[in-house]
Structure 1
Amino acid sequence: MIWKKIADIILKNRLLILILIAVSSIFMGYQASKVRITFNGGKVLPVTDSAYIRYAEFKKLFGQDASTMVIGFKSADIFKKDVFNDWYQAGDRIQHIKGIKAVISMANLFNLEKDTLNHRFTIKPLVTHSLTTSQAVDSVKNQLLSLPFYKGLILSENNQATLMAITFEGKILNTPARVPIIDTILKIGKNFGQKHQIEMHYSGLPLIRTISSDLMKNEFTLFLGLSLLITTIILFLIFRSGYPVIFPVIVVLLGVTWALGILVLAHYEITILTGLIPALMVIIGVPNSIIILNKYYYEFAHNGDKLKSLNIVIEKVGITTFIANVTTAIGFGVLYFTNSELLTQFGLVAALSIMSTFALCIVLVPIIFSFLPDPKPKLTKIKDRRLMQTVLISLDQLVHAHRKAIYAVALVMVAICFYGMLRINVNSYVVDDLPKKSNTLSDLKFFESNFKGVLPLEVSIDTKRKNGVMNDATIRKVEKLENLISSYPEFSRSLSLIQGLKFSTQAFYGGNPAYYRLPQGFEDGFILSYASHSGKNNTVLRNYLDSNKQFTRASFEMVDVGSNRMNKVIANLQPRIDSIFNPKKYHVELTGSSIIFIKGANYMVKNLYQSLALAILLIAGVMWILFRGVKMIAISLLPNLIPLIITAGIMGFFGIPLKPSTILIFSIAMGISSDQTIYFITRYRQELRYTKKSISQIVSDTIRETGISMIYVAIVLFFGFGIFAFSTFGSVSALGILLSVTLLVAMISNLTLLPAFLLSLEHREKTKEKG
């Protein structure tokens, strides 16, 4: 009754509604023009999570950890005069770029020297200008090799590879201002490599995030264009006429505009997930138009009255498509409750955009077609096309004659795929999203093999008392902790206060490498006095010790071994850390961007399980409202749960790991595939209520009428999500492929298992009556 009133309002106030939508769309378009790409990678862990809170506290004390980009190369000519001098000049040019805080390389290093007169250490650069002779370069080389402080950090263990560490200023790190800076650095590095015919390598989180942002920007446009192209082609193949192609595309483009407007109004930016929303609106929005137009042409073929047909369309299709879009929105919307900023933004904007696109379709499509000429005969005979009729008749016969075979095939597939599910590996990598053939990945491998990685790992040590760090026993404990962590192959050697004190001891004894150790006995007072008098010149004290000397840090680099391996390493490491630092007296925290990523991945996987459960529960609630009865809920849910099991099995058999991007598939697919169940059962129940046909005949009629729209919609979804397979982001590619497969299987399931269940229910009722 309510949809009858809505239909009357829409068709009686067409011009007014068009004006209102036009004004609203102009406003949303203006908002959409302000959309921006994110530069900080997006927050995965909730800001209320204890690990995130401690990471934020760590950054307040010691500054941003993921602020370093590295350039490196491997060559036997590292210490040749021309190569060395050009490397020095490259570092010097980079150092003078606005926004660069510091540059460290083998040609831009410092040494500590003892100033006996002023009882302090002074910092002396090893190189202050280009060197004029090979002997001078050899002298610098010998000095560098005599400084264990830099061993394995700037020069590889075999002295064949070197790197330049470039630290960005925190205020520009996560802003668009870093892009031209990185471009300049890459140009300088390229010129150096070309001049000396050396292969250059580049890495570090600032660079990785910049490359990801560039890819996001490119794919944002690419996938919107591809989604429009593929849906336009499918619409033309279905309707073979201009109007049913042009105007649905215009409507979904308005939906895209509204989606971007919602994104901006919510004060969000484009991330790897929200960047998919425009293409998703096209893929999910076009099926609304297909269902509306199919029903319109069907009704017009029966009564020949355009306005009456459109009125019936809104009344009959409105409730079905509304509920179908609600379940789709639920599939995305449950992500809002994960409390992960990345997923919250995606879930909220996607859900609101789906419902706004639906509203535009159900209002605009009937209004637009009310002004267009009457449909041509070929449009009213879409359902009679031979190929489609052959498919639907075959499905009808299969369901009626081979129900047991359908159940047997389904059970066998579920059993096989359930075994596959047990083989799924839960694993995420920091660089998961970069193309497998990307230079960035091969460059990362270069730094991992020569310097044990470039991803930051920080260890924060809280002694819980003022001046607690400077206690000799504490210093020894920190040294033991650093040796423990460095003993793992996943981690580099440390850079810390301890290494600074060792460097100071070496300087105190005239630079003798044999004295690169912690001060002992009476040395403590002298060396610590010298260090404290060094003031602002003592970089190590300033960067690795807080003002109250209660906190210190140890910095490592780590290999991107994946969350699965790293979780095991951390679990193994924690009790060993506790054996060194009593947790009752100290708080030792493994933190930094890499650890936050791993904990974020763990959090997302755990919470996405809960999101899937919530999606199933909410969709079951929708089914209860629509159909009532436990049997009907089971019948409506099973055809959509089985495809999820099959997809999980495929992931297990093909070694596709379960990670935040792939587990997203399940709640999204559950929401979208439930639409087809609603289309089928709603049509079935309408016939059951208003006709005296047998259930068997109603099932046949439903397959032959609703099946057309279900197949067309499935084709749009399959090819629409299939375009994401061409993404350069591994996670988006996997999302596209698996969603396409899941939704295709869901369509087959809803056209075979669902009607088979309904027929079995009829058979059971008849058996009861006879009994």
Structure 2
Amino acid sequence: MSHKTSSLLVLTVIAILTVLSVFYASRLRFDYNFDNFFPKGDPDLAYYFSYRDKFGNDNDYLLIGLDNSGSLFDQQFLQKVDTLTRFMQRQPHVESVLSPTNVKSPIIEQFGYFEIPYLHPDEPERYTQDSLLIYQSRELVGTLFSEDATAVSLFIQTSDNLAKEPGDSLIAAMYGEIERLGLQEHHVAGKVLAQSVFIEKMKIELAIFMSASILLVILFLWIAFRSVWGVLVPLVVVLLSVLWSLGVMGVFNKPIDVMTVLLPTIMFVVGMSDVIHIMSRYITEIGQGVTKIQALRVTIKEVGMATLLTSLTTSVGFLTLLTTSIVPIREFGVYTAVGIALAFVLAFTMLPAILLLNKKPNPRRARRIDLSWPMLLRRVYTFVLRRPYPILYTTMGVVLVSLIGISMIKVDTTLLEDLGDDDPIIKDFQYFEEKFSGVRPFELHLIAGPDKSMYDLEVLQEVDQLETYLYQTYGLNFITSPATVVRAIHRAQNGGLPDYYTLPANEREMQQVQQRLTAFSKRSELRAVVTTDQQEGRLAGKMTDVGSVRAAELNDSLEAFIDQHINPELLQTRITGSAVMLDKNNDYVVSNMLQGLLIAFLVVALLVGLIFRSLRMVVISLVPNIIPLLMIGGIMGFLGINMTVSVSIIFTIAFGIAVDDTIHFLGKLKVELRKGKSLPYAIKTTIISAGKAIIITSCILVAGFLTLVLSSFDATFYVGVFVSLTLVFAVVADLLLLPVLILYFYRPNGK
């Protein structure tokens, strides 16, 4: 079979697989599932899901804040609020709406039960009396009414785990009605909105990242090869590797989420590395006047093994993300690793086939393109030979400063850590924290002691102690619990007077309350805080988003208070909730990152050990790649960037990609040493031969990752910045520090 026939056969198979990839990639959808960011495998997660099954989800809601600037007690404003309330009550997937205009004070008298509205929107003459009653009711202030009496809030309970399509319809209907009513200053928060906004952002950013990456890669390819042929061939190969990767995701029905939205961009720039090394070596050989077949044989022989090893190390870098407990990050690691493997396959099948079928590049032009690189790289080697000690001393100084910066890093997260401070969603969250109770949910599971009920007076008194501590010391601004239900009924039985918003004073009064509780047992308000057997209860609240570190401190203090003041024979408790589960990721951040890096180090050490069979070379190869990681860690510390789950993955990704240059350098060095060259001369030849491809691929990788700084997600922004910095530091270390370490510490003869 001729080379032409073989090439056509390869391209035919690739074309068929590409058509299949297009079909499966077209089925991809965007998704943002909040629950996926809980730490899978954590014992507290199973407990939380069990708790949620009993009492409902603590984040299936929408908050609408409406501000009237001067005073909320304005008839026109309140009528609009009431209209919006009624409109939202009629919407599909809305379970209930709690609003200033529909909240009522229950009154229980001898002749029956009735409810009196706290607010009468259509009767402005009663506003003064309404305001007095409202601001004497602790449960209303900071929840439905702002403390400064300028704003109101609507609490909308949505269906459990509302999907994006119905969620988008609900959001669109809500905004349409708000605009129709002319409610100028409005603020919205909640999972349904965040889900909708995040997915729209992902769609826009995917298009931006890919467009910017393609333009930058075209620019660098043109600078490197100065021909349309040198731009189009690598571009087609890499674009197909991206398409195949998306096709694999489609086969396994994996949606594009906040992590995998990075995959096409990363695949595009990382996949280009193999292609550049092949193209660069191929053009160099063509410049020597050999045939296409001879040029390809030399290229595959000298670049093939190093490229295989770099693809392996990069894949391992992403596969180490399996050590994390966050499902989206784990899946991102797996699919990116698969994509890198596909890129390698295409680089060594499709690219050679295209090169064989294409016209041979002009040898003179190839020599001219390659002419300036040896001069530049000889100067680099001369600098290494003349200044080895300044290079080593500078390296030690950089490491020392970096370690100081690393010691300043804090592990801390907030609920919406991925969004920048200027994002509209963050602005709305800040509004609710300033004007109302906040947005961070608090959940405490209450369990009645042996032979006790949640509605026993002595149990409720223990809950009352807890509430006092949570209000005064912990920082909750709103609480609902079995005790708040009993207080509301006790007040209702005493004419609705605010002074009676207390627990019953004795067992006789409590028995009267319990009679009403039995009558109201099927009401949703009761089912949301106490189970039907009355053995378990829910204490839920809202607070400002203090961050995971401060929350952990508060929880420790709360547990200490419970141990000292709450009688376990009467009441047992356990802190849970979605916020706690997200905070628990902090427990795994450092350990998962170190596990991932350790695995990556071991794989690289094994590969280098197999190539050189030298422990010294293993250590030498790791040093230029560990130092860039220390440097970005130091920069994070000095800049005050917190270590979060999303930020921690930067280190393993950066190491897996940055080590590629070292592998290419050492692979070429091994080839030169086998030719019998002395170590200094082999290093010189390696720098001149491999240096061009190392610099070009590093520039393309840096440019590609820098496109991620256009993201509005902080985690994506930091991946772009710090992976780019790592690659810059790594290429400098590989061309300056690595030759010095090899010259001074490596012994080719094994001595």
What TM-score do the two structures reach when normalised by structure 2? 0.95
1:556-614 Cα offsets, whole Å, 9 max, x none, are 11212222222222222222233344568754222222221111243334322221222
- Picking from 271, 274, 281, the partner of 1:285 is 271
- Picking from 173, 183, 191, the partner of 1:184 is 173
Distance 1:35 1:686 in 2: 44
Pairing 1:248–2:234 present: yes
What's 2:601 paired with? 616
Residues 164 and 196, structure 2, Cα contact 8 Å, conserved in 1: no
The residue identity in structure 2 corresponding to 1:16 is: L
Aligned residue runs from structure 1 range 575-594, under 5 A:
575-581=560-566, 587-594=572-579
Aligned residue runs from structure 1 range 253-652, under 5 A:
253-377=239-363, 379-381=365-367, 384-386=370-372, 388-463=373-448, 468-488=453-473, 490-521=475-506, 522-536=508-522, 538-581=523-566, 587-652=572-637
Aligned residue runs from structure 1 range 99-138, under 5 A:
99-114=93-108, 116-117=110-111, 121=113, 131-138=121-128
SS in 2 for 1:432: coil
Distance 1:30 1:90 in 2: 44
- Picking from 17, 29, 32, the partner of 1:24 is 17
Query: How big is the alpha-carbon RMSD for the aligned residues of Structure 1 and Structure 2?
Result: 2.3
Q: CA deviation at 1:295?
A: 1.0
Pairing 1:694–2:678 present: yes
The residue identity in structure 2 corresponding to 1:553 is: R
Q: CA deviation at 1:346?
A: 0.9
Worse overlay, 505-514 or 652-661: 652-661
Q: CA deviation at 1:370?
A: 0.9
Pairing 1:51–2:40 present: no
The residue identity in structure 1 corresponding to 2:550 is: R
1:473-500 Cα offsets, whole Å, 9 max, x none, are 2211112112212224642221122111
1:369-406 Cα offsets, whole Å, 9 max, x none, are 111111123552266343x3443122101111111111
SS in 1 for 2:155: strand
What's 1:164 paired with? 154
Over 3 Å counting, the alpha-carbon distance change for 1:580 and 1:359 in structure 2 is: farther
Distance 2:317 2:237 in 1: 23
Q: CA deviation at 1:759?
A: 1.0
Q: Tell me the matched-pair count.
A: 749
Q: CA deviation at 1:161?
A: 2.6
What's 1:68 paired with? 61
Distance 2:257 2:590 in 1: 19
Distance 1:513 1:309 in 2: 90
Distance 1:575 1:605 in 2: 26
Over 3 Å counting, the alpha-carbon distance change for 1:541 and 1:693 in structure 2 is: same
SS in 2 for 1:66: coil
Distance 1:42 1:723 in 2: 29
Distance 1:689 1:571 in 2: 63
- Picking from 620, 631, 643, the partner of 1:658 is 643
Over 3 Å counting, the alpha-carbon distance change for 1:124 and 1:465 in structure 2 is: farther
Distance 2:114 2:233 in 1: 74
Residues 51 and 596, structure 1, Cα contact 8 Å, conserved in 2: yes
Distance 2:748 2:31 in 1: 58
Distance 2:330 2:2 in 1: 35
Distance 2:610 2:2 in 1: 26
SS in 2 for 1:728: coil
Residues 465 and 550, structure 1, Cα contact 8 Å, conserved in 2: no
Residues 302 and 671, structure 2, Cα contact 8 Å, conserved in 1: no
Over 3 Å counting, the alpha-carbon distance change for 1:340 and 1:10 in structure 2 is: farther
Distance 1:683 1:506 in 2: 84
Structure 1 runs (4+) deviating above 6 angstroms are 8-12
SS in 1 for 2:164: coil
Distance 2:327 2:230 in 1: 39
Pairing 1:724–2:708 present: yes
Residues 10 and 363, structure 1, Cα contact 8 Å, conserved in 2: no
Distance 1:42 1:149 in 2: 29
1:671-710 Cα offsets, whole Å, 9 max, x none, are 11111111001100111012x3211111111101100000
Residues 95 and 102, structure 1, Cα contact 8 Å, conserved in 2: yes
- Picking from 208, 229, 250, the partner of 2:215 is 229
What TM-score do the two structures reach when normalised by structure 1? 0.93
The residue identity in structure 1 corresponding to 2:96 is: A
Over 3 Å counting, the alpha-carbon distance change for 1:488 and 1:27 in structure 2 is: farther
Worse overlay, 210-219 or 743-752: 210-219
Residues 446 and 537, structure 2, Cα contact 8 Å, conserved in 1: yes
Residues 71 and 200, structure 1, Cα contact 8 Å, conserved in 2: yes
Distance 1:42 1:268 in 2: 16
Over 3 Å counting, the alpha-carbon distance change for 1:610 and 1:174 in structure 2 is: farther
Could you list the runs of 5+ residues in structure 2 that have no partner in the other structure?
Answer: none
What's 1:34 paired with? 27
The residue identity in structure 2 corresponding to 1:716 is: I
Q: CA deviation at 1:146?
A: 4.8
Distance 2:655 2:669 in 1: 21
- Picking from 177, 190, 193, the partner of 1:207 is 193
Over 3 Å counting, the alpha-carbon distance change for 1:47 and 1:412 in structure 2 is: closer
Over 3 Å counting, the alpha-carbon distance change for 1:466 and 1:160 in structure 2 is: farther
Distance 1:480 1:585 in 2: 13
- Picking from 61, 71, 74, the partner of 1:77 is 71
Residues 81 and 137, structure 1, Cα contact 8 Å, conserved in 2: no
Distance 2:570 2:10 in 1: 69
Distance 1:487 1:673 in 2: 51
Residues 328 and 675, structure 1, Cα contact 8 Å, conserved in 2: yes
SS in 1 for 2:287: helix
Over 3 Å counting, the alpha-carbon distance change for 1:492 and 1:393 in structure 2 is: same
Distance 2:218 2:583 in 1: 41
Q: Percent identity?
A: 27
